[in-house]
Amino acid sequence: MANMGLTDLALVNPVYENTEAAHALARSAVGIMDQARICRSLEEAVADAHLVVGTTRRFGRGRLEVDRVDSFMPGLRALPEDRVVAFVFGSEAEGLLMEEIRRCDRLITIPADPAYESLNLAQAALLVLWEYRRSVMLDDWDESRQRRGVRMDVPVDQSLPAGRMERLVQKWEPILWESKFLLPHRKRHSLAQVRRAFRLVATDESGWQVLMALGDKIRFRLGIHQSQQPAGEQEPADAKTMQRARQRVQRRERIHTIQERLRAADHSGDQELSPRDDATQLEE
């Protein structure tokens, strides 16, 4: 109930006695349990409700017509805000009794698989209350929460399985370390972005092969050693490969720094670095 933004719980002749265990299961929603109304009958529990909606998986036998929960809920949006709707659930073992069914104004059902239609009480309550929230209450949802990340709409129709996409990411990961696109403190986030970007491009086998071949070419130019296995069957890049890539980047940065200092010294006439010092540092 707390997940769905509802708090008014009424229990008719509850049989549980171990309140400590019940509180442990409720966790952060224990306030709803503590404030629940304990009633002696269904009539008392729904006395202030304008519409009483029962839940069932049974049909016929003098019952009201039963609506699917997903088709019934949107109609509740037309009700005035001061109208109270009560959803009634039966016991775990038996569901609602016939006399309780007759007290309901409408009946709804969850269209489960006919081979196994029975749901336990917690599952049924969650599904019904979610449909109510989705149909009636989601106007209070802050849609800006959905837009705080990078927007990448990966196509739903993906012809390549996730395993092949993962091999593509493994192919490119050393390249991303070499280019400093990947940083240790943002590795997981950055790889997730790369994975989604590849999904946008490699939507079929031909796109996947192009990116794999491009990765091979770039790795060759950067001197990143390939496995001796056939193309497309390389092992994932290990920690030593990543370390070698980082060391190459650091080495190139040191060489670039020394070269910049030499150029600056030539312009200023400063003899801070001798040719011998230069050669020694470059070798290091």
| pLDDT greater than 70 at residue 177 | yes
For residue 153, tell me if it sits in a domain: no
Angle, helix 187-201 to helix 162-178, in steps of 10 degrees: 120
* Structural domain ending residue among the three candidates 220, 237, 254: 237
Both 205 and 278 in a single domain? no
Question: Residue 151 CB: number of other CB atoms within 10 A?
Answer: 7
For 42-70, what is the mean pLDDT? 87
Both 39 and 90 in a single domain? yes
Residue pLDDT, tens place only, 94-106:
888 888 988 999 9
Environment class of 90 (CB within 10 Å of its CB; exposed 0-12, middle 13-18, buried 19+)? middle
For residue 119, tell me if it sits in a domain: yes
Query: Which residue range forms the structural domain that includes residue 113?
Result: 10-140
Both 231 and 256 in a single domain? no
For residue 151, tell me if it sits in a domain: no
For residue 157, tell me if it sits in a domain: no
For residue 271, tell me if it sits in a domain: yes
pTM: 0.58
Q: Which residue has the higher pLDDT, 196 or 127?
A: 127
Both 167 and 269 in a single domain? no
Both 16 and 113 in a single domain? yes
- Total domain count, the chain: 3
